[in-house]
Amino acid sequence: MNTAALYHRPESEFAYLYTQNEVHVRVRAAKEDIKKVTLIYGDPYSWSTSGVGNADNQDTQNVWLSHKKVMQKLATTETSDYFEAKVSVPTKRLDYVFVVEGADGEKIILTDKGVMPYKRALLISKYGAFRLPYFHEVDRFQAPEWAHDRVWYQIFPERFANGDTSNDPENVKAWTDTAPDRQDFYGGDLQGVLDHLDHLSTLGVNGIYFCPVFKASTNHKYDTEDYLAIDPHFGDKKLFKKVIDAAHARGIKVMLDAVFNHIGDTSPQWQDVLENQERSRYKDWFHINSFPVVGDEAVDNAEVSENLSYDTFAFTPHMPKLNTANAEVQAYLLEIAAYWIREFDIDAWRLDVADEVDHAFWKKFRAVCDAAKDDFYILGEVWHSAQPWLVGDEFSAVMNYTYTGAIEDYFLTHKLTLSQMIATLNEQLMLYRKQTSQVMFNVLDSHDTPRVLTVAKGDKDLMRQVEAFTYLQPGVPCIYYGDEFAMTGGMDPDCRKPMVWAAEKQDHAMFAFFKELVAFRKMWARELAESELDWLRADEKSGLIELRRGALSGVFNTGKKAVSYDKRGKVQLSQLTADGKIAPKGFVIFR
């Protein structure tokens, strides 16, 4: 047995409270190296002096009143197998060890003090058990229940709909011009959103994720000038309140984008630094490395410069990085966080460049949001492994680009083999507690990526297949505006084309498909949150994938030949040939 590969860590995604007293315990081992893992567990204070008890856990006088549970293989990655047991412990304290039997017949015990030969297990319960000392509900990772049955819809406000031409910026491009440049304006606004809420309700989505709406000079508004003002080109606070109230009346939750990593260089704070330099009262609001600080005009209006005397977002002179460890900056940003919840009743914050802001700040941010509103959802923009932010005291979820990226890399770009995709999906799920994976934000595209149909090289059957596959996964889906009408677009700014509202230019078949897909997802939200992901078949050669999510199962044909399949229940969603086969790019989801 490869004992060096055995890994466990208490109070992490390897041992955590799922509900108030149900604990999930996981252990990782080398792939195909283990025959059986048994969890030995019990309350650390439950001892008997009668000499009666579990013989595995007996020392000379006393017996630990422990229980045994055979662990189930939960997931397999390229290198590892993960085993899991779910145990309920009414006394809210847990000691545990793992009895591990190798495929080679070796038997060991994995304890808090390391790996020991099985015979020494007799004393382990007393001296070397892993421990969850007390189940603190306050420390349990919790996400709002409502997050489970969402289907989000992402709106880039400048490009969604122009409902009021009187607030347009100067020189707006014609809405029909489908070649946006980086600096272009089209005149989209909040009135446009209000006017099209029927569209969202018909589609069935029940969450709006707004890219930034606060006052800023660019079309994307990621360079905030004033966090307490709605951008005048989008409307005003009164109109924004109207949008939120109207959305809520339709059962639609609203998430705003907060850019707290950096501020726009047109902000009064940064302008004050440029003007007063070392004498500026805002000099400690930023990460300034030397004076004098020069603005972007001194670096030839460069979009990017590595020769700056201050830290920025990437190398963008227009986006000076905020010093979130500074008490004044904290007070300023935390009041903004509370303000939009308190005054406008928003349901969620999405946090831009969240990974470059300190953890200490995000913990305070979380506390402020929780105090302002029950069941608040916080989504961080983190593109890589995100465990440090997902312990329970910072974010509810992150934008799950790694997860959905693996799906795209197999289905659409063929960068991964089928087994590599499955290994990656499994590995991502094993990074997080189950209740975290349930609410992860699954996007196939966004304002920061090419559109899914473009990545699929315009193949709409393939796009439908990959969407259906994604909607069957753990985590909640998000539609990027216009995907429902089969909009195309490469990397930004091309993925930020104006929404297609001319009926003759909309793909109504794609809309009908999304409507069905959203309805399916909402109907099965609970099942898809609670159930595990079981791979029943993954045939590299034929490209046939079969998976189960509780009462649902799906068959996806990613190969080159049409195949027959066994009917196994009522069809929920499908893309089949006229004679009922699964053609390449086809699929069927059963109940």
Give min distance, CB of 169 to Ca ion, in A: 8
CA distances, 194 to each of 152, 153, 198, 224 (Å): 17, 14, 9, 23
Q: Which is nearer to Ca ion, 138 or 502 (CB)?
A: 502
When the beta carbons of 38 and 167 are compared against Ca ion, the nearer one is 167
Q: Which is nearer to Ca ion, 80 or 167 (CB)?
A: 167
CB of 166 to Ca ion, least distance (A): 7
Binding span for Ca ion by CB under 5 A among 137-145, 180-188, 348-356, 380-388 = 180-188
Give the whole-angstrom CA distance, residue 152 versus residue 134. 36
Structural tokens at position 318: 């227009």
Is residue 168 a contact residue for Ca ion (CB under 5 A)? yes
Q: How far is the CB of 254 from Ca ion (least distance, A)?
A: 20
DSSP structure class, residue 299: G
Strands (E), 31-173: 34-42, 47-48, 63-64, 67-70, 72-76, 80-88, 94-102, 107-111, 114-117, 130-132, 152-155
Site string for Ca ion, 127-166 (x = CB under 5 A): -----------------------------------x-x--
231-241 in b/e burial notation, b at 16+ Cβ within 10 A? bebbbeeebbe
Region 184-223 residues binding Ca ion, contact defined as CB under 5 A: 187, 189
Out of 265, 352, 467, 484, which one is annotated catalytic? Answer: 352
Which residues touch 512 (CB under 8 Å, ≥6 apart)? Answer: none
Can you state the angle between helices 460-471 and 508-523, rounded to 10 degrees?
Answer: 10
Q: Which residues pair with 88 in a beta bridge?
A: 22
Q: Smallest gap, in angstroms, from Cβ of residue 165 to Ca ion?
A: 6
Nearer to Ca ion, 144 or 187 (CB): 187
Q: Using CB under 5 A, which of the segments 168-176, 341-349, 351-359, 405-413 binds Ca ion?
A: 168-176
Which is closer to Ca ion, CB of 187 or CB of 295?
187
Q: How many residues bind Ca ion (CB under 5 A)?
A: 6
Q: Is 454 in a helix, a strand, or coil?
A: helix
Catalytic residue among 223, 265, 381, 445: 381
| Cβ neighbour number for residue 380 with a 10 Å cutoff | 23
Q: In whole angstroms, how close is the CB of 160 to Ca ion at the nearest point?
A: 11
In our burial notation (b when 16+ CB lie closer than 10 A, e otherwise), range 458-473 reads eeeebbbbbbbbbbbb
Q: How far is the CB of 219 from Ca ion (least distance, A)?
A: 12
Minimum CB distance to Ca ion smaller for 220 or for 549:
220
- Dihedrals φ, ψ of 12, to 5°? -150, -165
Write down the least CB distance from residue 188 to Ca ion, Å.
6
Amino acid identity of residue 364, one-letter, is K
Contact 288, 322 (CB under 8 A): no
Q: Mark 231-250 with x for binding to Ca ion (rule: CB under 5 A) and - for no binding.
A: --------------------
Q: Quick check: 16 and 8 in contact, CB under 8 A?
A: no
Is residue 381 part of the annotated active site? The answer reads yes
Annotate each residue in 427-446 with x if it binds Ca ion (CB under 5 A) or - if it does not, as one string: --------------------
Residue among 168 and 226 whose Cβ is closer to Ca ion: 168
Least separation, in Å, of the C-beta of 164 and Ca ion?
A: 5
Q: 235 vs 475, which CB is nearer to Ca ion?
A: 235
345 in catalytic set:
no
Strand partners for 349: 256, 378
Q: Give me the long-range contacts of 76-79 (CB less than 8 A, separation at least 24).
A: 76/31, 76/423, 76/426, 77/31, 77/423, 77/424, 77/426, 77/427, 77/430, 78/31, 78/420, 78/423, 78/427, 79/30, 79/31
Residues that bind Ca ion (CB under 5 A): 162, 164, 167-168, 187, 189
Give the residue numbers marked as catalytic: 352, 381
